Amino acid sequence: MNDQPGRRQVVTCFLRRTDAQGNTRVLIVRRSGRVGTYRSCWAGISGYLEAETPLAQALTEIREETGLGADDVTLVRAGEPLPVDDEESGLRWLVYPFLFDVAAGKDVALDWENVEARWVTPEELSAYDTVPALEDALRQVWPSARSRG
């Protein structure tokens, strides 16, 4: 599924939950040294678009990278595809962003693609070294999420 030559198509999934203090937080993960791009950068749950639809790929990535199944998450919003040109690496991306709410009491179990997970407020996101345009992708699906940056 590659309708734009030269662009690598990926999904980025933001998982959201409310903590015990009533703060809404989003999951970010630090990419491992074993992935192909953006090693050690913080990201949402992401992967190359290989399934028939971006939503199907999003659910696959969530299951593989967090251990959460389709019954553990609820789709809140699918954003418009976001073109991202990374001039530093010369890569061109088409990012399909998604926002899911995580069911209460569900925890994530990371696979080999990520080495650390943190639940952060949108305002805290700008303090992290992230993959390109992560905050833009988040705003596509969660417009009220504002960062400090």
Query: For the domain that residue 73 is a member of, what is the CATH number?
Result: 3.90.79.10
Q: Evaluate whether residue 104 is within a structural domain.
A: yes
Query: Residue 59 is which amino acid?
Result: L
Range of the domain at 66: 8-141
Q: How many domains does the chain have?
A: 1
What string of pLDDT tens digits covers the 149 residues of the chain?
A: 444 556 899 999 999 998 888 889 999 999 999 988 898 999 999 999 999 999 999 999 999 999 999 999 999 999 999 999 988 888 899 999 999 999 988 999 999 999 999 999 999 999 999 999 999 999 999 988 765 54
Q: Evaluate whether residue 147 is within a structural domain.
A: no
Burial annotation 44-82 (CB, 10 A radius, 16+ → b, else e): bbbbebebeebeebbbebbbebbebeeebbeeeebbebb
Output the six-digit token pair for 109. Answer: 């179990």
